[in-house]
Amino acid sequence: MVSTLDTVAERVGLAPSSPLLLTALTHSSYAAEHDLESNERLEFLGDAVVDLAIADLIVTRYPALNEGTGSLVRSRVVNEASLAEAAKVLDLGDVIRVGRGVRKENGTERPSLLADAFEAVVAALYLERGYDVARSFVHEALEDEVRAASKEPGDVDPKTQLRQWAEATGRGTPVYDVSSSGPSHDVTFSASVRLGEEVMASGEGRSKKSAEAQAALVAWRGHFDA
């Protein structure tokens, strides 16, 4: 069932008519077609608010984590994959306003687009209702991820994890093939990871690095966590 703006607004804690919420849900492709402000500035602010809120959660609720392990936990939580999952729980993809081309390509399912929308919504909450409300929203959305990461804070990043396993088992080194698409203001990078001739998984991101990390994460979960 597709969620409505009213439903999503209630989950987020803002009025459906909130100008900030509407801007947070406006992708650059839609903004360009309708001469509106996109969510890019809010996403920039929201990125900082999410970082601060997760650092706050780690320091106040996980005293056993020191600066180094706390940074590792935060990096495992504040990333495109985790934020995109949080956006999916809120059904942000159902209400994000995107241009015709992005809509045609099912762009509202892109992890990068969903993660950016989540951060933009956090910024809207921060500006309209203050940091305490935004912090509580972030904590509720991501606390399970923090709890899981805190149990094994030393876990390495997906690309390193995949490479170490592949080399240790004699399968060679993973190779990443990356391409880009879209206009200059909205470039999406797509990466596939392969071992030998086998393509293991693919991923997308707003940068080459994030696309490769997403592909590695999907490969690891799909082939080794099952």
Q: What is the pLDDT of residues 74-102, one digit of tens each?
A: 877 888 888 999 999 999 999 999 999 98
Q: Are residues 181 and 76 in the same domain?
A: no
Do 97 and 23 belong together in one domain?
yes
Give the pLDDT confidence score for residue 226 in this predicted structure. 44
Per the model's pLDDT, the better-predicted residue between 199 and 154 turns out to be 199
Q: Find the helix or strand (DSSP H, E) in which 221 lies.
A: helix 208-224
| Contact criterion met (CB below 8 Å) for 151 and 69 | no
pLDDT digits (tens, 9 = 90+) for 156-178: 577 877 887 787 677 888 999 99
152 pLDDT higher than 90? no
Q: Within this chain, do residues 11 and 27 fall inside the same structural domain, yes or no? A: yes
- Answer with the residue of higher pLDDT: 198 or 119: 119
147 and 162 assigned to the same domain: no
What's the distance, Cα to Cα, between the start and end of the chain in Å? 28
- Quote the pTM value: 0.72
Whether residue 15 sits in one domain with residue 112: yes
Which of 87, 117, 151 is the last residue before a domain boundary? Answer: 151
| 182 shares a domain with 94 | no
If asked whether residues 118 and 179 sit together in one domain, one would say no
Please tell me whether residues 190 and 124 are part of one structural domain: no
51 contacts 36 by C-beta, under 8 angstroms: no
β-strand partners of 192:
177, 202
The domain that holds 72 is classified in CATH as 1.10.1520.10
Q: Which of 93, 118, 151 is the last residue of a domain?
A: 151
Residue 27 sits in the same domain as residue 113? yes
- Mean pLDDT to the nearest integer, 99-121: 91
Element (H, E) at 78: none
Strand partners of residue 175: 194
Mean pLDDT along residues 194-203: 90
Q: Among candidates 17, 48, 62, which has minimal Cα distance to 134?
A: 48
Same domain assignment for residues 88 and 178: no
34 with 126, same domain: the answer is: yes
Q: Are residues 136 and 177 in the same domain?
A: no
Which of 124, 151, 178 terminates a domain? The answer is 151
The CA distance from 17 to 11, in Å, is 14
Catalytic residues: 47, 119
What residues make up the domain containing 166?
Answer: 158-224
The count of domains in the chain is 2
